[in-house]
Amino acid sequence: MPLGIDPTVDYVFKKLFGDPANSDLLIHVLNAVLDLPQPIVDVTILNPFNEQEFDEDKTSILDLKAKCQEGRWYNVEMQSRAMRSLPARLAYYSASLYVDQMGAGDGYATLKPAFTICFLNNVQFRGVREPHLRFLLCDARHRQILTDLLQVHTIELPKYNFGKVGLPEADDLSQWAFFLSRAAKLEADELKRLLPEPEFIKATGVVEMIAKTPEERMRYESRLKAERDVRAYIQDAEEIGEAIGLEKGQKQMLIQQIQIFEQLLQEPVTPLEELAANEVAALQKRHDELLARSAARL
């Protein structure tokens, strides 16, 4: 029977790579993505996996932050939806990871490299075939790199052309992409046969444990439902925007979308009269902020 557990659902993703007991899996995936001259051999997970954060807040943002013994900082996340705000958000997270290292009295020389790694379950960059993109601060015209201390890596899973034949000889990142994309549809024994390296055997065991443990399965299903609800709310907002935007104008469209996003985020819904008293620019600003926060939960 197929495992039936999708590793791209954030509960599974963070259990795989955010549990200190699985730090070897995080090290393996970091090395697969970054391919540094000297491989990472040790990491400290700064916000370790905790079941309670799922039980208490079904809409919490569950990215993963870590630091290695060389002082480099890492932010790793899984995104299930392509969105216009993603590039700006990744730039913000990367800048924060870099700047927040600096304490009072510290000099610039103390700053260590900051890497943001985002796995995507949809295609964000349609004009590029390469699934793994690496963004640095550079002059695009002259190809002059200002610094590599701040990097953003995106891995678009749908761009991989998987084939079972030859998979064990593929590079580590392609194997992780296969695991994340296909594990739910395969039986544990078949997955272990296709990906026989120790890290993938262990990762398969984690997914299998979730599938077979009632409490773990319940948390997974709850989180999966929350992600589907987010997508449904966003789709509803977009459809309302199309319909109302044509019939009653931009202002009412924004008001209704704001109220939808407030419900999604489990925040008090702003009364209609209060929203109507705002200018379009203020409503647009509030709308964009709520949209970004809602989309970040995917």
Residues 271-280: pLDDT tens digits? 877 888 888 7
Q: What is the pLDDT of residue 102?
A: 84
Rounded CA-CA distance 20/224 in Å is 23
Q: Do residues 164 and 239 both lie within one domain? A: no
Q: Do residues 78 and 201 both lie within one domain? A: yes
Q: Do residues 164 and 35 both lie within one domain? A: yes
Highest mean pLDDT range out of 166-180, 227-241, 263-277?
166-180
pLDDT at 230 over 80: no
Q: Do residues 163 and 243 both lie within one domain? A: no
Q: Do residues 142 and 185 both lie within one domain? A: yes
In a domain, 4, yes or no: no
pLDDT at 260 over 90: no
Q: What is the pLDDT of residue 177?
A: 96
Q: Do residues 85 and 114 both lie within one domain? A: yes
Q: Half-sphere exposure of 194 toward its Cβ, with a 13 Å CA cutoff?
A: 20
Q: Do residues 49 and 124 both lie within one domain? A: yes
In a domain, 121, yes or no: yes
> Which helix (H) or strand (E) is 77 found in, with range?
strand 73-79
Q: What is the pLDDT of residue 27?
A: 97
Of 54 and 225, more confident: 225
Q: What is the pLDDT of residue 114?
A: 95
Q: Do residues 151 and 109 both lie within one domain? A: yes
For residues 203-210, average pLDDT: 96
Domain boundary among the residues 168, 183, 212 is at: 212
Instruction: Say which range, 84-98, 137-151, 155-169, 220-234, has the weakest mean pLDDT.
Output: 220-234
In a domain, 126, yes or no: yes
Of 252 and 136, more confident: 136
Rounded CA-CA distance 294/183 in Å is 27
Question: How far apart, in Å, do the first and last CA atoms of the chain sit?
Answer: 28
Residue for token pair 């695009």: 140
The tokens of 20 are what?
A: 């200190």
Q: What is the pLDDT of residue 247?
A: 41
Q: Do residues 231 and 199 both lie within one domain? A: no
In a domain, 254, yes or no: yes
Q: Are 14 and 49 in contact (CB under 8 A)?
A: yes
Instruction: Say which range, 60-69, 100-109, 151-160, 246-255, has the weakest mean pLDDT.
Output: 246-255
Rounded CA-CA distance 286/262 in Å is 10
Q: Are 220 and 5 in contact (CB under 8 A)?
A: yes
In a domain, 165, yes or no: yes
Of 5 and 51, more confident: 5
Q: Do residues 71 and 145 both lie within one domain? A: yes
Average pLDDT, the chain: 85
Report the amino acid identity of residue 50: N
In a domain, 3, yes or no: no
Q: What is the pLDDT of residue 186?
A: 95
Domain boundary among the residues 212, 234, 269 is at: 212
Q: What is the pLDDT of residue 61?
A: 53
In a domain, 107, yes or no: yes
Q: Which domain holds residue 107?
A: 10-212
* Burial (CB count <10 Å: 0-12, 13-18, 19+), residue 99: exposed
Report the amino acid identity of residue 298: L
* Domain count within the chain: 2
Q: Residue 98: helix, strand or coil by DSSP?
A: helix
Q: How far is CA 71 from the centre of its chain?
A: 23
